[in-house]
Each structure stands twice: as C-alpha cells, then as structure tokens.
Copies of this chain bind each other. A is one copy, B any other.
C-alpha cells in the first residue's frame, strides 16, 4: 500500500510540473487544490527539496519549483525517496536490501523468486513513467 505521504508527494510534484512557466508554487495553494493537510504537505515538500527534486524560495511570491525537467524525473526515484523500497520484501530490494531472519538461504526460499518477478515488473512500469507522463494524462 502506498502511503498518503507518497501519494500526496506525487500529486504535489505533478501539480507543480503542470504550472505554466517556472514560477514558484506555494504549499498553501497545493494543499487547497489537492485537499491535503497543509502542515503535512509542508513536511513532504521539505523532504522533496532536501532530496533534490524541488527548489524553494522564501518570502512573498515564494514557493516551490522543480529543479529538473519533468521528463527527467522517473517515478522510481520519487517513490524510493518518499516510500522507501519498491520491492514487497526487503530481501529482493535493490536499494534497501535486508536479509531475512527466518530464511536460511534465498535460493531455497519459495517466496524469493516470485518477489523478484513482481519487483522487476513494477520497476519496469515505474521506471518507464516520468513526471511528465502524469501531467500529460491529466490533460
């Protein structure tokens, strides 16, 4: 299950990407438009800024803006930052690998091979889609 945090983060990024020009978008505006708790959204935007997706500008007329082009931002990157691992099990995660306590070996684990298949198919979809694709579909 996708957390609200990730969902809100994606929606916010899409909202910003959708704006004409490169003018900063305020958190309050996004919160209003997308029905998100403003404070909660602020913390998400902050995280997206710290991880290099967004730039920010303080004061009047300030807000958040994309640093890279929407076409360059893969959904895998966004989700990994906000949600964490894409895999359903840590033992098949590429970026957040963790060994299982209960499994003696990954070769004999019946779940392992299956979860690799799921991971790869999900990765394909999320890697093929960029932020630009989300915006296009919206119009």
Contact = CB atoms under 8 A, between A and B. Distances in A.
A72 interface: no
Given A10-B114, A15-B110, 7 more contacts: A2-B111, A7-B111, A35-B103, A114-B125, A114-B129, A114-B134, A121-B125
A7 B137 contact: no
Contacts of A7: 89, 111
B89 A1 contact: yes
Contacts of A109: 11
A101 B14 CA distance: 18
Interface in A88-139: 88-89, 101-104, 108-111, 113-115, 117-118, 121-122, 124-126, 129, 133-135, 137-138
A110 B134 contact: yes
Interface size range on A against B: 35 or more
A36 B102 contact: yes
Given A121-B121, A121-B124, A35 B75 contact: no
Contacts of A122: 118, 121-122
Contact of A117 (B14, B36, B89, B125): B125
